[in-house]
Amino acid sequence: MSSPEKTKKKKKELSQTSTQIPSLPDDLLVSCFARVSRLYYPTLSLISKRFRSLLASPKVYKARSLLGNTENILYVCLDLYPCSRWYTLCQTLTNDTSEEKKSSGYVLAPLAIPHSPHARPSGLVAVGSNIYNIEHSSCVSILDCRSHTWSEAPCLREKVSSLSASVVDQKIDVAGRICKGPYYCKNSFEVFDTKTQIWDPDPIPCEYSFVNPRSACIDGKFYVNAGTNVVPYDSKEGRWDLDRGNMNDHMHFDCYCEIENVLYSAYYGVLRWYEYKYSYILPLDLCVDLMVQ
């Protein structure tokens, strides 16, 4: 068979497939989508407006929940003033049919999220299927990662000059600094209950100074840097302690994250991680060599 004939046959098969899929009932499509990894959703949403609508509907996520088919998905936010751009991890399949190149690939797919507010890494936290964006202006907005729509949440009590947020037991702890004039600054520490959508009415005092706060949640405690020290807040005991380790060395800039009670950071050419008051350092070029091997 000649090459043009092969191409014609392939187009005919694709045409038949594309006309058959839309004729399937919505319930059957939802059942199929619920069994597919969410990594494929950005690609599937490009097929048709109907697919895009069904993939964003609550029916799909209700079906996924009933099947127990839940998974963690990576979201990436680019801080571009005055708004932010959002991307999600997407899995694709190469068109090459050879055995050597036929493999799954990952790309960051842009998300069409209208009216995205300005976001900073220190004010972004994820709880369940929602991403909370806490701004210095005290405004709080919620991104629903299922429908990719924004909604408003109750604001902070006061506008802060700097802040850092982390999640402890589905509650958002926010350490901030309130400055009113060049000679008057004070700490701000507030707790937001994501279940009731209410801020704790009583502010929590802290004798340490949050000049440029950076925070993380480790072992159920909220850790925030205060000058050269890191102070953990134990919500169960209702008290602040002084950390005797060197966690502060791992909380520079915004190049750090917490994964399963381990604090990771990458800067100045090395990868560092902190666990149970012990520090580990590994050059980034060696990390690359280990991954390649």
Question: Does the pLDDT at position 7 exceed 80?
Answer: no
Share above pLDDT 70 across residues of the chain, in percent, rounded to a whole number = 81
Tell me the two tokens of residue 94. 């190469």
Task: Go through the chain and tell me how many residues it has.
Answer: 293
Helical spans, DSSP H, in the chain? 3-20, 26-34, 41-44, 49-55, 58-67, 284-292
Average the pLDDT over 3-29 and give the result. 60
8-state DSSP, 122: G
Q: Kindly report, residue by residue over 57-94, the tens digit of the pLDDT.
A: 889 989 998 998 888 888 998 877 777 899 998 887 55
CB hemisphere CA count around 93 (13 angstroms): 6
Greater pLDDT, 251 or 11: 251
Q: pTM score, two decimals? A: 0.79
Average pLDDT, whole number, for the chain? 80
For 104, phi then psi, to 5°, come to -80, 145
Strands (E), the chain: 75-80, 83-93, 104-110, 124-127, 130-134, 140-144, 149-153, 162-168, 171-179, 185-193, 198-199, 215-218, 221-226, 229-234, 239-240, 256-259, 262-267, 270-275, 278-283
Tell me the two tokens of residue 107. 């790309």
Average the pLDDT over 161-167 and give the result. 91
Rounded Cα distance between 239 and 64, Å, is: 40
Rounded Cα distance between 117 and 241, Å, is: 35
Q: Taking Cα atoms as reference points, which of 213, 203, 214 lies closest to residue 258?
A: 214
Rounded Cα distance between 60 and 22, Å, is: 17
Average the pLDDT over 173-199 and give the result. 88
Greater pLDDT, 118 or 276: 118
Q: Kindly report, residue by residue over 137-148, the tens digit of the pLDDT.
A: 899 999 998 888
Q: Which domains does the chain have, with CATH numbers?
A: 119-243 (2.120.10.80)
Written as one letter, the residue type at 81 is Y
Written as one letter, the residue type at 236 is K
Rounded Cα distance between 15 and 146, Å, is: 30
